[in-house]
Structure 1
Amino acid sequence: MNIKLESERLLYRPFELSDAEALYNMDNNPNVHKYLWQKPTLELDESIQTIKYLQKQYNENGIGRFATLLKETGEFIGWTGLKYINDHFENGHTNFYDYGYRLKEEFWNKGYATEATKAWLDYGFNHMNIKEMNAYTHKENGASNHILSKAGFQLLEEYPNNDGVIWKWWQYFFEDYKRNLKK
């Protein structure tokens, strides 16, 4: 996969197996999983398998979550990016583009998630010609809900997952994106 993106402070590139330890260190933190499924990664091999899964998505769908690094140091801060959801249903939907991110705790509240969101929206809408993007967040994840709203995503509904946890379903259309850029 030849996609390499950058924004003011960040670099985005496909995951490599050499990222496994950094991914593990992020996903082993229970705070990172507070608004996910409360299942921090327990073994390095889980991170290796995640990266292999992501690499399979790159090959099959031409996109997937990317390792996200600080431009200045090359340090791994998490992952960001688009994913084509075709392997499960979310809120009754499948075969859609999903935007998401996960950052190491020490990189929260520094504007990196907002910066990455803008970069990926630009890439998805203007380079991949995606017409509609979705995202889903835990109802109580105020930071992520705020970032998506500020970026232009519209909250469509709240829904329970299989465990009864309430999630928010977000959507952003290309036409709305173009209109928001003109503001």
Structure 2
Amino acid sequence: MRELLPSDIDGMFELDSNPEVHKYLGKCPITSKAQAQENINFIREQYHKRGIARFATIEKSSGEFIGWSGLKFNTGDNEALGSKRDFYDIGYRFIPRYWGKGYATESSLTILDFGFKDLKLDIIYGAAEIKNIGSNKVLQKIGLNYIEQFLFEGEMINWYELKNEDYAKTMS
């Protein structure tokens, strides 16, 4: 994983223009490389404003951009989920041909380690539409605990959390 770069535009366009990728993300895939560039710029701005954002995920064997994974600080200014505000959430998004290979789990475990050990976060949250079986399985597999369901933009969302103290117990 590495910082997302402007040169990742082709990969970001392939990722975010795919309707299957956006099936559980509001069903609004992008339609232009200009939009992909806006997404990259938004993420890069988060690095500078908040010191953390999603990271480009590169397949070791091929060197190919396969998607992104990382933490995001949600403040509530059009980023948060409903009434959820001021929290760090773990997220991942991969090009479909890389699904089912363990990349979401592998990268998320690395991100949890970074968040708790390097950033010293108290809690990391995760959210997934209840119908998104794959994403729910990843969040549970990496140790996040189901807390509740809530309605967001017409969809039911599962809300998860993992506390640093609980993470530390599982790592010892």
Say yes or no: TM over 0.5: yes
- Count of paired positions: 170
Of 94, 101, 118, the match for 1:127: 118
Over residues 142-176 of structure 1, what are the superposed CA-to-partner deviations in whole Å (9 max), with x where a residue is unaligned? 111011111110111111113x2111111110011
Correspondence 1:27-66 to 2 at 5 A:
27-66=16-55
Identity fraction in percent: 36
The answer for the alignment partner of 2:86 in structure 1 is 95
Q: Does 2:172 correspond to 1:179?
A: no
Moved over 2 A (4+): none
Give the partner amino acid of 2:155. V
Pairwise CA distance, 1:91: 3.7
SS in 1 for 2:115: helix
Conservation of the 8 A alpha-carbon contact between 1:91 and 1:169: no
Pairwise CA distance, 1:85: 0.8
Correspondence 1:142-161 to 2 at 5 A:
142-161=133-152
Give the partner amino acid of 1:82. L
SS in 1 for 2:24: coil
Inter-partner Cα distance in structure 1 for 2:61 and 2:142: 25
Pairwise CA distance, 1:74: 1.4
Over residues 83-116 of structure 1, what are the superposed CA-to-partner deviations in whole Å (9 max), with x where a residue is unaligned? 1111333241211111000000000001111101
Give the partner amino acid of 1:165. E
Between stretches 26-35 and 97-106, larger displacement belongs to: 26-35
Inter-partner Cα distance in structure 2 for 1:165 and 1:82: 22
Stretches of structure 2 that go unaligned for 5 or more consecutive residues are none
Stretches of structure 1 that go unaligned for 5 or more consecutive residues are 1-11
Give the alignment's TM-score, normalised by structure 1: 0.90
Pairwise CA distance, 1:72: 2.3
Inter-partner Cα distance in structure 2 for 1:58 and 1:94: 19
Across the aligned residues of Structure 1 and Structure 2, the Cα RMSD in angstroms comes to 1.0
Inter-partner Cα distance in structure 2 for 1:20 and 1:130: 31
The answer for the alignment partner of 1:118 in structure 2 is 109
Give the partner amino acid of 2:116. F
